[in-house]
Amino acid sequence: MKKIPFYRRGGARTGLKELLHWHLSKGPATATELAEKFGMTPDEVKKKIRDLFRIGTATVREDQVNSETIFTLTATARRTVSKTSPSLHVSQRSPTGDDIKQKHIEAAARRRRLIAAGLYLPAGD
């Protein structure tokens, strides 16, 4: 069963993580700016951000500048897969493709002769 996105689920404060992620993806924001956007106090915003972004693919960095908390969205390191062997190119073409093509050409010529002579009845009629 397909999972419904968080912002479409009912209840209070649903989708807050996605909304915070979206706002912080545009650039750094202070706790008071985020509090104004979400109708919360700056302390509630700080607590929610710490709770929501504890585990996940993205992390939020907190910086103190002039007694104001600035939140910046940072991505965690992606897992890389090392290539141990070069990739192999596999042809999709059959090795006997020319023989099969010639066989079909000859069958089409035979059908053409039979149709011209009026002796060919197509299958399904």
55-79: pLDDT as tens digits: 665 677 777 777 778 888 777 666 7
85-107: pLDDT as tens digits: 667 777 666 666 678 888 889 99
CA distance 71 to 61: 6
**What percent of the chain shows pLDDT beyond 90?**
9
CA distance 7 to 15: 4
Q: What are phi and psi of 55, to 5 degrees?
A: -125, 135
The strand pairing partners of 58, in sequence order, are: 75
CA distance 69 to 62: 6
Give the pLDDT confidence score for residue 109 in this predicted structure.
95
